[in-house]
A and B are shown apart, each in its own frame.
Chain A
Amino acid sequence: MNIKHFIFSFIFMLLLLNTKAQITNAKITFERKTNLYKKFKGENQRWIKEEDKIKIEYFEMYVTDSCSLFKPQDSDLKENLSWATSKNTVLQDFNLNTRYLIKTMWGEELHLTDSLFKRQWQITESSRKIAGYACRKAIWQANDSTRIYAWFSYDITPSTGPESFNGLPGTILGLATEDGGVVYFAKKVELLNPEAKQFILPKKKKIYTIPELKAQMEKQYGKEKWFKSMINEQFGIW
């Protein structure tokens, strides 16, 4: 009886040690690569030299089981081709089902709120390793012409991800557009407990809700040719 007891406890210990503990708090550093030649077709390409074709930027995401904050990494160095891409700050609150978004649009910093962006995911069988974690691939049909691929980790449990992505059984560590033009990959996962003050954002006086902003822009520019694709690019995918 003693030995059986001992063997069971031993096997139990082994199993315990083998499964990685479920992670709920982490700081994840993402690297985003944007192919500027795919983003700007035609005339605009002449402003971008061949060696600057891929623009690399860094973001940080603080994850807890109640909320997550995705923001650009601070750097005081001059940004090359700063006009070519934009960086958003997104605070997703899973308990209240809300998100707070800080984005720069047309030279102006906007503070927006909305409910969490719910997407229909299709989880596939393929998997890969990202930042040392086993991840599974999922696909989202963004619209008629494009899909977004996401790789999420079962080991990091909060159902969140970069930008406004969420809804998978784990934290998304990789994101890519179908044509590979924009790719987010986690480079480093640090297991630490983010302090509460990390999640406090400087608020602006004028806060729009996303539907409010869309309606205001529709009134002003709804008839313009570029309006639909601009709204889709700004609010429909990311």
Chain B
Amino acid sequence: MDINFGMRLNRNFKKKDRNLNILYQPIYSSNISNSHLNTDFVYLQGQLPNSSLNQERKQENFKMEHNAYITYMEPWTKKFRTEFNYNFIDNKTSNNRNTFDYGGTNYDIFNPALSNNFENKRQTNKIGTKLIYEVKKYKVSVGTSYRNIFQQNINITTGQKLQLSVNNILPTASFNYRPNQGSNLSVFYNGSSQQPDITQMQPVVDNTDPNRIVIGNPDLKTTFSNNGSINYYFYKGVSDRNLYTGSNFGQTYNQISYATSYDSLGRTISQPINLDGNYYANLYFGAGMPLFKRFMKIYYNLNVSHNNNVSLVNGERNISQSSTFAPGLSFEKHTDSYNITLGSSYSYNVPKSNISIQSNQPYYSYNIEGSVYFKLPKKFAFTIDGDYQNNGNRASGYNLNYFILNASVSKTFFKTEDLMIAIIANDILNQNINNQRYISSNQIVDTKTQIIKRYFLLRLVYKFNSQKTKVEDEY
């Protein structure tokens, strides 16, 4: 059961732009679940004797949280104003897990190693201020917050108590330039900090897979991240041109990452640790404009990104990087009686890991898609669209290329066109499939999944419209 709601009070004062805003949100949730675990472990090379698990697990979770935000804005002059804000979060959760092994007739053998009963308490107090300078074309805002987070974790069964209190200073700054109604440049920076999950510090064993053991780290520190972004766009309605471009970037100190080690039998033991060296950056660009004296319109875009993640594998620093280069291009033509679109996008991905050379194989995918919409006489309409996907450079058997073709015929009735009946055919060539590639520090995983293929649909849409005229479609 979940209950949550919010209450907000907003007060404007006599003095212009003086404003007080209070928000309070309580959240309550409780959850009881009962599950059975029935697993056989078979070691094909005899590394360990075969075994099996037959357990019942009862889990009770309960959460009560109070969130309060107060924001107060005070104008000093026509151009300067200050914002004061305070945020209070009080969070109490309890997790009670009881595991019973099968004792021949019933699940009645209590398993204390896989049972636990925790009570967690977490309180956040954050106070901050911002100075804002705003004129017709510029807005500059600089601010900082001081935050304290207090966490406590009590193990009811053993009586063990873990406590953590963290103080942070979190700065923020933004700049906005608006030369005219249709364009905007914004630059944004903020510092943020994340504390470790208290259960990451608690040695708790999850045996769902005895081949992967996770242990806790009581010395985990909080992270600190610097994040920035820049964005510029313009939109010209009469010339029918638009452009957007920007970049997001950031890095993290003491990122909570994992140290994984493999024992002689191939089992993994993982522990969370703090590591430096994580960063990311991406750049995006897109634009649209008319071509050949407004005969048709062209859109083009480009996304480039780079990620750097650090972890430890068998005690060695493993740096895994992933870079992507993805351009796209499309054309469209709209008239009263038909619409045509044709487009293509390409994505080239380069993963790199200093430990595992085998992961370092670039792979790509591209797609070509098009659609045609025709208005026919007697209020009929016909559409056809196709999407060809090509995936390359993957494990053999996973370089899947497929072409999805859909078509539909529809007719509207009445002067107001309130009734529409359509026959829709999806994936006429019966080729739909889902494939993904996932890369981690020392693994490349290619998956393919069966999903719904060819099917037909009869659709009826009736618009309840009290006006005597045709209601335009909203999209």
Interface residues of chain A, those whose CB is within 8 Å of chain B, are 75-79, 82-83, 104-110, 206, 213, 216-217, 219-220, 223, 225
A79-B237 in contact (CB<8A) = no
Q: 27 A–B contact pairs at CB < 8 A?
A: A75-B136, A76-B135, A77-B78, A77-B79, A77-B135, A77-B136, A78-B79, A78-B136, A78-B139, A104-B182, A105-B238, A106-B182, A106-B235, A106-B236, A106-B238, A107-B181, A107-B234, A107-B235, A107-B237, A108-B236, A108-B239, A110-B238, A206-B239, A220-B240, A220-B294, A223-B336, A225-B472
CB pair B336–A105 under 8 Å, yes or no, is no
The docked-state distance in angstroms from the alpha carbon of A182 to that of B127 is 46
Task: Give B128-158 interface residues, CB cut-off 8 Å to A.
Answer: 134-137, 139
CB neighbours (8 Å) of A223 from chain B are 336
* Complex Cα spacing A223 to B135, Å: 40
Which B-chain residue is minimally distant from A208 (CB atoms)? B238
Q: Name the CB-closest residue of A to B294.
A: A220
* Contact assessment for A108 and B237 in the assembled complex, using a CB-CB cutoff below 8 Å: yes
> For the complex, would chain B's binding face be called helix, strand, loop or mixed by DSSP majority?
loop
- Give chain B residues whose Cβ lies under 8 Å from the Cβ of A220: 240, 294
Extra A-B contacts (10), CB below 8 Å, given A83-B181, A106-B236, A219-B294 = A77-B79, A77-B135, A78-B134, A104-B180, A105-B237, A105-B238, A107-B182, A107-B234, A108-B182, A216-B294
For the complex of A and B, the 8 pairs showing the least CB-CB separation, nearest first, are: A106-B237, A107-B182, A108-B236, A107-B235, A76-B135, A78-B134, A107-B181, A108-B238
**Distance to closest chain B CB from A222 (angstroms):** 10
Known: A78-B135, A213-B238. A107 touches B180 (CB 8 A): yes
Query: In the complex, which residues of chain A have a beta carbon less than 8 angstroms from the beta carbon of B134?
Result: 78
Closest to B139 in A: A78
What distance in Å separates the Cβ of A3 from its nearest Cβ neighbour in chain B? 65
A contact residues around B239 at 8 Å (CB): 108, 206
**A110→B239 CA distance, assembly (Å):** 10
Answer whether residue B261 sits at the interface, using C-beta atoms and an 8 A cutoff: no
A27 to chain B, nearest CB (A): 22
Instruction: Report the separation of the CA atoms of residues A220 and B235 in the bound assembly, to the nearest whole angstrom.
Output: 17
Please tell me if B254 contacts chain A, counting CB pairs below 8 Å.
Answer: no
Q: How far is the CA of A3 from the CA of B183 in the complex (A)?
A: 76
CB distance from A46 to the nearest CB of B (A): 14
- Measured in the bound complex, the distance between the Cα atoms of B342 and A77 in whole Å is 46
Known contacts A77-B79, A217-B238: does B135 contact A107 (CB below 8 Å)? no
Nearest-neighbor residue (CB-CB) of B137 within chain A: A76
CA distance A31 to B319 in the complex (A): 65
Q: Which of B179-194 contact A (CB under 8 A)?
A: 180-183
How far, in whole Å, are A106 and B235 apart by their CA atoms in the complex?
8
Whether B181 and A104, one on each chain, are in contact in the complex, defined by CB atoms closer than 8 angstroms, is yes
- Name the CB-closest residue of A to B183: A107
Cα–Cα, bound, A107→B137 (Å): 15
* Minimum distance in angstroms from A125 CB to a CB of chain B: 43
Q: A109 contacts which chain B residues (CB < 8 A)?
A: 180
Considering the complex, give the chain A residue whose CB is closest to the CB of B181: A107
8 Å CB interface, B280-332 against A:
294
Q: How far is the CA of A46 from the CA of B294 in the complex (A)?
A: 37
- How far does the Cβ of A78 sit from chain B's closest Cβ, in whole Å? 5
CB distance from B73 to the nearest CB of A (A): 14
Bound complex: CA of A107 vs CA of B236, how far in Å?
5
Residue from B136, B234, B336 in contact with A79 in the complex, judged by beta carbons closer than 8 Å: B136
Q: How far does the alpha carbon of A214 sit from the alpha carbon of B180 in the complex, in Å?
A: 23
B336 to chain A, nearest CB (A): 6
Once bound together, how far apart are the Cα atoms of A217 and B238, in whole Å?
8
Question: In the complex, what residues of B have CB within 8 A of residue A105's CB?
Answer: 237-238
Measured between alpha carbons, how far is A151 from B238 in the docked complex, in Å?
34
Nearest CB of chain A from residue B60's CB, rounded to whole Å: 45
Q: Give the CA-CA distance A220 to B236 in the complex, in Å.
A: 15
A-facing mask of B68-94, CB < 8 A → 1, else 0? 000000000011000000000000000
Q: Could you tell me which residues of chain B, from 228 to 267, have a CB within 8 Å of some CB in chain A?
A: 234-240
Q: Which residue of B lies closest to A106 (CB)?
A: B237
A101 to chain B minimum Cβ distance, whole angstroms, is: 13
Q: In the complex the two chains form, what is the Cα distance from A41 to B139 in whole Å?
A: 31
Chain A contacts for B238, CB-based, 8 A:
105-106, 108, 110, 213, 217
CB neighbours (8 Å) of A217 from chain B are 238
Chain B nearest Cβ from A103, distance in angstroms: 10
Q: Which residues of A contact B136 (CB under 8 A)?
A: 75-79
- The distance from the CB of B275 to the nearest CB of chain A, in whole angstroms, is 45
- Chain B nearest Cβ from A52, distance in angstroms: 10
* Chain B stretch 429-475: residues in CB contact (< 8 A) with chain A: 472
Of all chain A residues, the one with the shortest Cβ separation from B469 is A225
Complex Cα gap A231–B294 (Å): 20
Closest-by-CB residue of A relative to B133 is A78
In the bound complex, residues from chain B placing their C-beta under 8 Å from that of A82 are 181
